[in-house]
Amino acid sequence: MLRKNMIEVLARGALTPHIRLSSIFLRFHSTSATDHNHVELARERSKTVSSFYNQSSIDQAAEKPSVRLTPTTMLYSGRSQDGSHILADFVGIICTRLSPKKIIEKWVDFARRLCEHKYGNAPRVRINGHVAARFPFIPMPLDYILPELLKNAMRATMESHLDTPYNVPEIAITIANNDIDLIIRISDRGGGIPHNHLERVMDYHFTTAEASAQDPRINPIFGNMVDIGQSAPMHGFGFGLPTSRAYAEYLGGSLCIQSLQGIGTDVYLRIKHIDGREESFRI
C-alpha cells in the first residue's frame, strides 16, 4: 500500500524524488508512533481497570448464564468480605437457606451493644414463632431494615423507662413464614408513638433525636458514643424508617406501624419470597 502511494505521488511530479520520499516516510513514522502511543495508553488503562474490578472473576461470572452482572453481584458474589472464602449456601447475592432467626439474632446483638453504649443497659429480646424457617432470600435488604427497627424499639423502651433503666420490659419478635411471604413483628413496650408524630414517622428527615438529647437523665457522654466496629448511632437524621419502607415495598412487601399510645408499638415487616406462588419482586 505504501509503495503504491509513493508511485502515485512521484507520478504527479509535485516534489523531487528525495523530498517526496522523505516526506512520505516521515508521515508514516509519525502515524505509527501515534498509534503505538494509543495502544500503550489503552493497555495501561486496561491493567488499571482489571486490577480494580478483578477482571478474571467478572469474566468467570459472565460465563454463567444465570448471573446478572449488577455491581452488587460483582462486588459480593457470595464470598467473604476479604474475597478469600466462598460462603456456604450462597449463589451470588442469594442465600439459598436463609434463617430469619439467625439474621435477627445478629442484629439484636448489634443494636444491644449500641443501646448499652448510650443508656448503660439494653432490653432483652425474645424471638418466637417460626424460628426454624429457612428459605432462599437476599439478606442485604434485611441487613439494613432490621437494625433500624431494632434501634427504634430499644431506644423507645429505654427512654420511656429512664427512671428504672435496669428494669425495662423485653422486646418480642415474632417470625411468621408461609408459602407467599415472611412477616416479622417487632413489639416493644416503649410507650407508643404520640398521636401528633404518628403520621410523620415515615416522612424523610423527620426525627425526634433532638428532643431525647435534651433529656437531662440521658448521659451526654453515652449519647455521643457509637459502636466502633459498625460506626452507627442509635438515631440519626430521619431516614431509617422511610428508607426501610422503600426497601420493603421494592421487595413486594410492606412496613406498617401500629402504635398503642401509653403502651408500646408493633412494627410489621412483610416481604415476599423469591420463589413464592404469587408474582415475586424484580431482582
126-135: average pLDDT: 97
Looking at residue 4, its pLDDT comes to 55
Phi then psi dihedrals of residue 52, to 5 deg: -75, -40
What is the CATH number that goes with domain 96-272? 3.30.565.10
Strands (E), 206-261: 254-260
Residue spans per domain, the chain: 1-53, 61-92, 96-272
139-154: average pLDDT: 94
- Which range among 31-35, 136-140, 178-182, 263-267 shows the weakest confidence by mean pLDDT? 31-35
Looking at residue 120, its pLDDT comes to 94
| Average pLDDT of every residue of the chain | 75
Residue 223 has pLDDT above 80, yes or no: no
Write down the pTM of the prediction.
0.64
Contact 242, 254 (CB under 8 A): no
228-247: average pLDDT: 67
